Amino acid sequence: MIEPTEQQSDSANKETRALPKRSGLAFIIVIFFGLIFLSQRETVNTVDCSPALIASNPDVIMLGAWWCTYCYQAKKYFQRNDIHYCEYDMENTTIGKRLYQQHGGGAVPILLIGKYQLNGFSEQQIETALASLNIKPENAE
């Protein structure tokens, strides 16, 4: 049996040490692109509450935040079901901050539907509140 020389032994050790670095880098690249892929969402327009829009008496006033996943789901639901709504950003608008505090703060979104206040997003609760106020979405059958 031939014994490896010291130089061959060092060379083999360097190669084995280099492999984990390459595979670690590949793993990080895969995770990075995976996160980018998963973060892609369908575009949903934000309907900011303006004095004219408030005067038109929207079905839902939402107190939300740009980073809130449930706010995104709520906006998507409103748009998909033609529910007339608008949103105050509870972090970046004076009115939004004030309303958020007046309604107890806590979680987002806070949905104001007539006399009802819903904390969080639940399609069933929204439908129940709208139905109790005899508000029917435009595309409802």
User: For residue 114, is pLDDT > 60?
Assistant: yes
pLDDT confidence of residue 136: 75
Phi, psi of 63 (to 5 degrees): -105, 110
pLDDT in tens, 5-61: 555 555 555 555 544 567 777 788 888 776 666 566 677 888 999 999 999 999 999
pLDDT confidence of residue 141: 46
Q: Is residue 49 within 8 Å of 87, Cβ to Cβ?
A: yes
- Dihedral sign, CA of 115, 118, 51, 139? negative
Q: Is residue 122 within 8 Å of 74, Cβ to Cβ?
A: no
Tell me the whole-structure pTM to 2 decimals. Answer: 0.68
Task: Give the H/E segment covering residue 119.
Answer: strand 116-119
